[in-house]
Structure 1
């Protein structure tokens, strides 16, 4: 009974999140943008004009993604401009087949190649590709190309105006949605951490889940940075934005704290096996913090309804009693527990700070972040012309993808003409939607697109057999389109199902023979999906293993720079610099990229997954290394520490050298002789740490807080340096053994 109630509760929460999401609101906006021009066209008997304006709105819409309003409007205007130019040129392609095929290939290549400039550029590129494909359709066939291009421009401006209007009516919606989602994902991360504490759990699966959650969190952090920092820079100071920025900072810090892994699981297993109650208390605290974050996310927009809860404090007190019950301050187990307790206590402080910021405190009590400091954390895209030139070769995955897409669209259109397909541009439409630079994503999309189309076709047949009501067809066409666009990022299979339904019902309004439409729709999708998969498999394939070493270089380098910043702070103390925080952000982003690259590799054919076990080992090695860095960083930042010792600097210098060696291997600047130059890390560690921290007899007898703090510091620094040194010694060896 309880299980079914939980399922119902989760389903309702998922539905609530879906309806409150930016995806859904954007889909509603698109529905309005597409419907109004058609209704006006019908009203004033100028339907072709209304339909063409609708096409313009559709072509602009892909660039309407979350981010700062300035970036969004810029993207929409560029997408509109590109769609106008491409539609104008596309209007003349039908004049000659000899003219059509080479121009089609050239346009496809260069429009697709624009995506070299990043995510938003790839969306503008998609608008151009879609405009080119739709220029082959019968829409506005009686118009001159320049007339069609102008109306498409009007449609793009119409959608841009609606997007601006939505922003000014609901300016807080994107911030609230992504902040709420960040809270929920952070809650998931803490909950998974709690599950990892238990020995009999499948830790391998949980660690993968943890890595996936971390990757998703890092991506959303980037979106929030763009929304919060850019909006503050553009509109000046705002209490709302300032407070949301501070909440975001707490959540970023919480991710670093959650990543912190002060000890290995073999030690915690041995300890908690002897004291199961301590395990229950630590796990209960993690679960309580996770639950609280979920509650906060649900009431983020209405914090007055957020009720106080003593659950976290109760568990924190239990953990404190567990930790301080023993008087044996020299016990390694006890020192480990105390450090664990300190990490959890810091997490609780972060949650308390979030709740305090939501309680509408007096602005004089808040230390807002200055815009000029915040700007340094934005990831800037390089739009120089040199980027196009540097990537104009077969070493670039985007170049190969553009070449592949151009070739397959020529073949696809040729197949459509050869076999007299009713709408050959549907094959091209399937190709541009499905084909991606990575084989795995293309294969997955092909499969989901095919299944979704078949399901949509079957549902359409059923509805057409039941009723021939054209009004119902119109309602279903618009509703299906809205749902389809809102599901693209969430569930591509469902999106393909509803887009098929929408297309069928639109044609049902125009053509009496609906079953032919369904038949051709399914056939064209199958042809397009098959060509997309074959293209990625045989034409200039971009297997992940070939580009993985570049991703690894970025990850290892980012970890090294982050470590060097930690070392510098530990030696100098004082205020945490922006340079330190940027280095931390970069390390998290690079780790996210490495995780995504490995996931893409797992989707490739078995014959192409070279050394996948080694690649997984390298990915987990870097993730564990970053976790250990996060642990070291968190302790040093949040606790008064003694001056950095010569031992600390000697070991950390060795770790940096090992990372530099790993980078050299990845850059092909060294050989396998490196393995002979590396020594056993145990010997190095024991040699350097032979001089242990000395305490006077008076300090030992007194057991003061200062004395215990020094013990805890010595234990944690000792453990983390040992972990980091071990992993840094292992990394070059694993890299040499892996063939890229």
Structure 2
């Protein structure tokens, strides 16, 4: 999970890369596409970490309780870091245009790079069970950004473009919060015996709702026994490829070359995936990895026949082959090929020759060719998934916004644990020995539970949509449909989810929602619901003074995103589907 966050922060630093020359939109577009792909990968790793941590919660004692507390505290802080990273969508083009000629962007980039390297270092130490020793700090960069902001204020940026100044200050606050969280993550690696679970998130049964579950029903099998099921088509493709492989092996290969013919079937099973793009991608990786591994094996046997050296290389290849399978599939294939050849050498000394190595390369090439040919049989193109996934992402954003509005209402109620009650509790004297009262909420463990669940669902829905879109872009051009519309839907859903995460905590801190803000929120709910009519007019002006200054920019982006989402969904809808009424921009 830390590695995913480190990669995501490093990619965000690429978006902050300053341009001394005029701004190139293509560079920003490429960085943004890569950023979304890394966010999808990070979401998947977060869910895996969530399942692991929530199934091993601290119990107040017992075996390896220190490790349980450490993992829980790191998990909560990683959630806080995720909130900080995606809490708002930054308009990098406007930011770079406004800060042209200033060093603020350089310091923003350097701070993100430092924090990403620190995150990767923490992740490595956690995997090794070590305490983080070396600690890098971004304090110098943060102070430099503060100085640059003061210079911008003196140059009158607050009068010319108050929203851009507020955005720059917001970026500084996010970087400062991120640096603080990264420092806490490094401290957690100490796994101190007196460490206690953090109180930022209560440990109770409600957390089980965040664990992913897989139902096992007979209907899951029988419902896929039809030709329009992608899983059934995938099974047919694999069966056909395996049958062709066995037929060709029996007809073409000589008996002396058929001893390891199972390599062909193994290659087919490993390479073939339900998606065409993923099959073709893994096909190239596997083939190149096997060829490079065979060449390395030839070089190794040419240089030495020392069993000690060969056994050391075998151990290293085994470790690297399994370690890189999720990080770099081609590198994993290289080490696995080298490992297999060395295993044959030790099992049957003297039998590994140029002929055996060439046989493995030939079998792998045959398996790759059959996998590629059979991937065109009853293919399931990603374009068929795009419309349902786009609607699911929009629906998840709508439910996320609805849960956020309910969360705001709940926190303003004078109930135990509400904002009003907490303010009264701070004023009420309490003996030093008295325990801190635990707030209770009837029927709800915590008022933000539904909001956090909605946020998790948004990340998952967006990740599914983004991955399907980029897989479609890897397929043949004639099977790509509505690319501009789906790309815009991807961008606007990302903007909307980020700004919801930023706006809701701000509104929680206000005693009441301003009328213009409430009108904008109601309009967003109408725009995101295809069954409702769009509002006749959208609010265009928001207060930029006082506590509401931080709301103006994200609210405008949210309204624009909702309008674009409604328009693009109407554009990609099937003729027989009910089309939402167009919204006025």
TM-score (norm 1): 0.63
Report the equivalent of 1:192.
14
In the alignment, the residues of structure 2 paired with residue 291 and residue 490 of structure 1 have an alpha-carbon distance, to the nearest angstrom, of 22
C-alpha offsets along residues 559-618 of structure 1, whole Å, 9 cap, x if unaligned? 111111223334444455111011011111211111111221122122222333333233
Q: CA RMSD in A?
A: 3.6
In the alignment, the residues of structure 2 paired with residue 210 and residue 258 of structure 1 have an alpha-carbon distance, to the nearest angstrom, of 12
Which of these residues, 503, 507, 519, is aligned with residue 340 of structure 2? 503
CA pair 722-215 structure 1, distance change in 2 beyond 3 A: same
Which of these residues, 228, 245, 253, is aligned with residue 412 of structure 1? 245
C-alpha offsets along residues 239-279 of structure 1, whole Å, 9 cap, x if unaligned? 55435434433333333333344664564355334xx43xx
C-alpha offsets along residues 465-484 of structure 1, whole Å, 9 cap, x if unaligned? 45555665555444433332
In the alignment, the residues of structure 1 paired with residue 97 and residue 241 of structure 2 have an alpha-carbon distance, to the nearest angstrom, of 58
Report the equivalent of 2:331.
494
Which of these residues, 518, 521, 541, is aligned with residue 652 of structure 1? 521
Report the equivalent of 1:593.
464
Which of these residues, 272, 294, 314, is aligned with residue 435 of structure 1? 272
C-alpha offsets along residues 533-559 of structure 1, whole Å, 9 cap, x if unaligned? 11111x221111112223223212111
CA pair 226-234 structure 1, distance change in 2 beyond 3 A: farther
C-alpha offsets along residues 65-102 of structure 1, whole Å, 9 cap, x if unaligned? xxxxxxxxxxxxxxxxxxxxxxxxxxxxxxxxxxxxxx
In the alignment, the residues of structure 1 paired with residue 404 and residue 371 of structure 2 have an alpha-carbon distance, to the nearest angstrom, of 47
Report the equivalent of 2:355.
516
Retained in 2: the 8 A contact 1:187–1:289? yes
CA pair 717-265 structure 1, distance change in 2 beyond 3 A: closer
Retained in 2: the 8 A contact 1:282–1:319? no
CA shift, 1:204, in A, is 0.7
Report the equivalent of 1:138.
none
Which of these residues, 255, 258, 268, is aligned with residue 82 of structure 2? 255
In the alignment, the residues of structure 1 paired with residue 219 and residue 104 of structure 2 have an alpha-carbon distance, to the nearest angstrom, of 57
Retained in 2: the 8 A contact 1:256–1:630? yes
Report the equivalent of 1:558.
396
* Helix, strand or coil at the partner of 1:546: helix
Q: How many residues align?
A: 522
In the alignment, the residues of structure 2 paired with residue 476 and residue 244 of structure 1 have an alpha-carbon distance, to the nearest angstrom, of 34
CA pair 476-247 structure 1, distance change in 2 beyond 3 A: closer
In the alignment, the residues of structure 2 paired with residue 487 and residue 507 of structure 1 have an alpha-carbon distance, to the nearest angstrom, of 22
In the alignment, the residues of structure 1 paired with residue 310 and residue 360 of structure 2 have an alpha-carbon distance, to the nearest angstrom, of 17
1:582 aligns with 2:453: yes
Report the equivalent of 2:219.
386
In the alignment, the residues of structure 2 paired with residue 456 and residue 266 of structure 1 have an alpha-carbon distance, to the nearest angstrom, of 44
In the alignment, the residues of structure 2 paired with residue 521 and residue 617 of structure 1 have an alpha-carbon distance, to the nearest angstrom, of 46
CA shift, 1:342, in A, is 3.4
Report the equivalent of 1:206.
31
Alignment of 1:66-145 (within 5 A): none
Report the equivalent of 1:317.
146
* Helix, strand or coil at the partner of 1:453: helix
Retained in 2: the 8 A contact 1:197–1:283? no
Tell me, which stretches of 5 or more residues in structure 2 are unaligned?
413-417, 419-446, 578-585
In the alignment, the residues of structure 1 paired with residue 274 and residue 229 of structure 2 have an alpha-carbon distance, to the nearest angstrom, of 10
C-alpha offsets along residues 196-219 of structure 1, whole Å, 9 cap, x if unaligned? 798625111111121122122212
Retained in 2: the 8 A contact 1:323–1:338? no
Retained in 2: the 8 A contact 1:261–1:628? yes
In the alignment, the residues of structure 2 paired with residue 738 and residue 350 of structure 1 have an alpha-carbon distance, to the nearest angstrom, of 47
C-alpha offsets along residues 645-685 of structure 1, whole Å, 9 cap, x if unaligned? 45444433332233232xx7xxxxxxxxx9xx868xxx721
TM-score (norm 2): 0.78
In the alignment, the residues of structure 1 paired with residue 551 and residue 351 of structure 2 have an alpha-carbon distance, to the nearest angstrom, of 81
Report the equivalent of 2:180.
352
Report the equivalent of 2:571.
734
* Helix, strand or coil at the partner of 1:489: coil
In the alignment, the residues of structure 1 paired with residue 154 and residue 410 of structure 2 have an alpha-carbon distance, to the nearest angstrom, of 35
1:603 aligns with 2:471: no
